[in-house]
Amino acid sequence: MGAVELSSAALDLEVAMKGGSGDLLQSSLVSFERELCKVLDSIGALEEPGLAGGEAGVAPLGGRPLRPFAHERTASLALELAALLEANSMAALTVWDQLRPLLHGVNHDKLDAAIDGLDFSEAGKSLRVIAEADGLDL
């Protein structure tokens, strides 16, 4: 498949699991998850109708479209971020830093700008739009 970055991230994760610090393990896991999402997105794109190599009428992954919040950790972070934004908590910045790389392929520029500008109300609205498109109740 040529997933060189995924292979490298998997090796880093394996090393971190064998004795790295908690921070190293966390960053390795986030990196691995990001690279895995890229590979899965690429595979899904090949299966979408009208794209080179994909058969017309074939939906990604056996009929289920790839979704940004499909992974349990991503959904959990999105729920946590929504609660922190609602509470106008500065901790939202840290959670957003963890969630952002997991939303590969999702247009989150508006959400990113709102959080950077500390406009938590607007950020909450943007997060709800992304989540609603995915069927996640926040």
Nearest to 130 by CA among 107, 104, 96: 107
CA gap 123, 78 in Å, rounded: 12
pLDDT value of position 4? 82
Judge whether 84 and 95 are in contact, CB under 8 Å.
Answer: yes
pLDDT at 2 over 60: yes
The position carrying tokens 């009208």 is 50
Residues 64-95 pLDDT 10s: 444 555 567 778 888 899 999 999 999 999 98
Q: How far is CA 58 from CA 38, 48, 105, 118, in A?
A: 20, 6, 20, 42
**Whole-prediction pTM:** 0.50
CA gap 108, 14 in Å, rounded: 30
pLDDT value of position 68? 55
CA gap 27, 98 in Å, rounded: 9
pLDDT value of position 24? 85
